[in-house]
Amino acid sequence: MSRHFDYIVEEVILLSGFFQKVYRSCKDNPWPLVLFVLGAIVRTVYLGSIPSGLNQDEASIGYDAYAILHYGIDRNGVHLPVHLIAWGSGQNALYAYLSMPFIGLFGLTPLSVRALSLVMGLLGMIFFYLCMKRLFPSRAAGIIAMFFIAINPWHIMMSRWALESNLFPTLILIAVYCLLRSFQNPKWTYSFTVILAISLYAYGTAYFFVPVFAICAAFLLLYSRAMKFRTLGWNSILFVLLAVPILLFIVINHYGLQEIGMKLFTIPKLTMPRVEQISSVFSGQLLQTASGNFSSFLQLMRSGSDGLPWNSISPYGYAYPIALPFALLGLIVLVYEFFRRGREGFVHIVVLLWLGIAVLMALITDVNINRINIIFYPLIMLVAAAVFWLYQKLKPAGIVAVLAFAVMFGFFTNTYFREFPKNIGPAFYDSLGEAIQYASEATSGSVYVTDKVNMPYIYVLFYEKINPHDFLDSVKYINPGDAFQRVASFGRYKFGAPDTQPGQKAYVYGNNEPVPAVNGGYTITRFTNYSVLIYNHTEGMNAADVEGVQAEVPNGGFEEGAASWNFSAGTGVAHNNPYSGVSHAYLNIGSDTSILQTFAAKTGIYKLAAMVSAGGSRGRIGIRVDGAVRAETELTAGDEYHSVVLPDASLKQGEQAEIYITGGNGWINIDEVRLER
C-alpha cells in the first residue's frame, strides 16, 4: 500500500513539472507562447462585463458557493452537499467548490464567479497543446495546435461564463493527457484515475461517459502492456473510493431514498432528479429517443449552432463554418497514423475512442452544445491534425487554411466584443443586479421584483449576499417540490406585481414592461434594461417632496410616445436606436428644432442628465425659468450613446421650470432624461 501511495506522490510531482517542460519548449519555439498569449487576451478582456449581465445558473452556482464558504450550507440548507439541490432538480457542485478561492479573495461578483472558467480555459489551451505534441511530436504541429485552440469560438465563449458543465471537457482533456503519458510511464495512471473520478462531480453526462471511457482506457493500457493487472487493481480501488459519494447520490435520487448526512459531506435528495432528462439512458426510453437525439446531433454538427445565443454566434458556430470538412480529413489522418505507427499508435486511438464515446453519448442525450461539450476538444484536434497533414504534404495549402481560419477569427472577435454584448444583455438580465441593489438601498420597505425574470430571487440572493439562514427562515415557494421551485417571497423581497397599500416600497421591472399601476407619488430610476420605481405614498406625501430622491421626469425614456413633451417640427419619437427600452426622441438638423417639458419645482438643487448620441455639435439641453437659463450644456457629438450631465440648477418652490432640448448642426438622438433633487 505504501509503495502505491509513493507512486501517487511521485505522479503529482511529475504532473506539476509540466510547466517547466512547456517553458523549455517555448524557449526553442516561441510561437506557441505568442498564440497562447493571444488566446489568453481574448478570454480575459472585459471578462466581468462580457457577457453582460449574469445568467441565472451563474448566479445560482455563485451564491451557493458563497453560502457554503461562509455559512457551511447551500441555499437549501444542506451541509457541504456533494451535489447542489439549487432550483430543486439539482446543479453539479464541483464548480461551486473550485470557485470558492476566487469568491473568498474577491467577494461575490460576476467576475469572481467567472474566474474559474477563465482559469480552466487557459489550462485547456496548455493541455490541448501538450496532447497534440504527444500525437504529433513536431514543431509545426505544436504551433498549429495552439493556433486552433486559441482561436476556437466554442472554447473562447466557454471560458468567459460560469456554467458548471464547462468544467467537464477540460477535466477530461487533462485526464487524456495523463493517459497519453501512461503509455510510457504507468505511474501517470493514478493521475488519470483521480481526474477522471473528480470529473463525475462536474456534469451529469459524465455518469455515462466516464465509466465507458475508463473501461476502454484500461483495456488499451493492458493490451499495450503499459499497465499491469496489479496497477489496474489499485487504480480501480482509488476510482471507486472517489466515486462512491456521487454513486450514492445517483442511487438515492433514482430510487427516491432519504438523503445521507455526514460531518464531511451530505448526499442530498433532490425534489425531482433532472439527470434522467439530460441523459435518457437513465429514463428507460433509450430506443425511442436515440433516433431523434442523433438527428439533432447531426444538425448541430452541420449548422454549428444550437440556437442558444450564449453557446454560439452565427455564422461562426462551434469551430467556424469550414471546420467540419477538415475534421473529417483529420479523422482519416488519425486512423492512418494509428495503423502506420503500430504500438506507438495507441495514443491516436485514445482520441478516436474519446470521439467515438462522445458520438455514442449523442444517442442518449437531448443534444445542445452544453450537453455534448465533451466532443469539441477531439473535434478541434481533428481539425488541427488535418491542417498539419496538409502543411506537411502541400505547404501552401496548409498556410492558406490557417489564413482562412485567422480571417474568420478576426470577424468573430469583432462580433463578440461589439455586437454580442447588445444581444446577450437581455438574455442575461443585464443591469438587473444594479436595479436590485439600488432598490434595496433606496427604501427600507418592501422590494418587489418582476416575475418576468427566470428565477428572480436568485439575483436578490446573489447581489444582496443574503444570509442563507435568513432566506430559509422566511422563504415561501409557489410550487414547492417541483423540479424548478419558484419563490413567491422571502424577507422583505416579493416577486410579482406590487400592492398599492400606503407605505414606502420599491418595484424592479423591465424597461419593456409598462410602468406599474400605483396610486400616489412615485419616482423612477432607469438602468440599461431595468427600472426601479420608488413608491412613497404616505398620507398623501408626494415623492417629489422627499429630498434626495429622483424628481420624476414623466416619460423621460419616451416609452409612452410624445406624452408629457412638446415636440416642434423636425422632432419626434422613434424606435430604431434607443439607449434602453424600445423608444427614443430625435431632433433633425437645425437650431429651430426643440423638445420641451414643464414641471412645478420644489425648493432645492436640481441636476438634469440624459443619454445622447449625436451626429454633430451645438445641440443644447438645459433648465430655464421664464426664459432665464438656470443650467445648460452642449450635447456633444458621438455615434454611441453617452451620458450628458448638467451643472446644478437652483430652483424655488412654485417656479414653473422648463426642460428644453434644442437641435444643432447634426442629428440628435436622446433617451433616459433624468432629474435629481
Per-residue confidence band for 25, with pLDDT thresholds at 50, 70 and 90: low
What pTM was estimated for this model as a whole? Answer: 0.78
Cell of 280: 435518457
Mean pLDDT value across residues 648-674: 91
Mean pLDDT value across residues 87-97: 96
Closest to 428 (Cα-Cα) out of 110, 128, 654, 191: 110
DSSP-derived letter for residue 37 is H
Q: 91-95, 285-289, 504-508 — which one is most confidently predicted on average?
A: 91-95
CB 591, CB 635: distance < 8 Å: no
Cell of 167: 468544467
Helix axes 206-223, 188-198, angle to 10 degrees: 170
Residue 4 has pLDDT above 80, yes or no: no
Residue 126 has pLDDT above 90, yes or no: yes
Closest to 649 (Cα-Cα) out of 612, 594, 602, 610: 602
Cell of 220: 488499451
Residue 30 contacts by C-beta under 8 Å, 6 or more apart in sequence?
none
Mean pLDDT value across residues 61-90: 97
Closest to 346 (Cα-Cα) out of 176, 491, 553, 105: 176
Positive or negative: CA dihedral 364, 367, 372, 378 = positive
Q: What is the pLDDT of residue 8?
A: 45
Q: What is the pLDDT of residue 500?
A: 63
Residue 653 has phi, psi (to 5 degrees) of -55, 130
Residue 537 has pLDDT above 70, yes or no: no
Neighbours of 19 (CB within 10 A): 10
Per-residue confidence band for 552, with pLDDT thresholds at 50, 70 and 90: low
Per-residue confidence band for 550, with pLDDT thresholds at 50, 70 and 90: very low
Neighbours of 542 (CB within 10 A): 15
The percent of the chain in helix, strand and coil, each rounded to the nearest 5, is: 50, 20, 30
Per-residue confidence band for 412, with pLDDT thresholds at 50, 70 and 90: very high
Q: Is 170 exposed, middle or buried (0-12, 13-18, 19+ CB in 10 A)?
A: buried
- Give the pairing type, strands 446-449 and 493-495: parallel
Residue 111 has pLDDT above 60, yes or no: yes
Residue with the three cell numbers 441523459: 279
Q: Which residue has the higher pLDDT, 544 or 347?
A: 347
CB 362, CB 298: distance < 8 Å: no
pLDDT digits (tens, 9 = 90+) for 247-265: 999 999 989 999 999 999 9
- The span from the CA of 536 to the CA of 544, in Å, is 9
Mean pLDDT value across residues 607-629: 91
Per-residue confidence band for 335, with pLDDT thresholds at 50, 70 and 90: very high
- Cα distances (angstroms) measured from residue 613 to each of 576, 594, 647, 669: 13, 16, 19, 5
Cell of 546: 422627499
Q: What is the pLDDT of residue 514?
A: 82
Residue 16 has pLDDT above 70, yes or no: no
**What percent of the chain is modeled with pLDDT above 70?**
90
What 408-411 contacts at long range (C-beta under 8 Å, 24+ apart), as own/partner pairs, is: 408/316, 408/320, 408/321, 408/322, 409/151, 409/320, 411/316
Q: What is the pLDDT of residue 44?
A: 97
Q: What is the pLDDT of residue 388?
A: 97
Mean pLDDT value across residues 587-609: 89
Task: Give Dmax (Cα) for the chain.
Answer: 96
Helix axes 456-464, 56-71, angle to 10 degrees: 40
Q: CA gyration radius for the chain?
A: 29
Residue 535 has pLDDT above 90, yes or no: no
Per-residue confidence band for 396, with pLDDT thresholds at 50, 70 and 90: very high
- Cα distances (angstroms) measured from residue 569 to each of 22, 495, 595, 621: 68, 43, 10, 17
pLDDT digits (tens, 9 = 90+) for 129-187: 999 999 999 999 999 999 999 999 999 999 999 999 999 999 999 999 999 999 999 99
**Which H, E and C letters describe 598-615, residue by residue?**
EEECCCEEEEEEEEEEEC
User: Half-sphere exposure (CA, 13 Å, Cβ side) for 137?
Assistant: 6
Per-residue confidence band for 5, with pLDDT thresholds at 50, 70 and 90: very low
Mean pLDDT value across residues 216-236: 95
Q: What is the pLDDT of residue 9?
A: 47
- The span from the CA of 296 to the CA of 101, in Å, is 38
Residue 344 contacts by C-beta under 8 Å, 6 or more apart in sequence?
none
Q: What is the pLDDT of residue 460?
A: 98
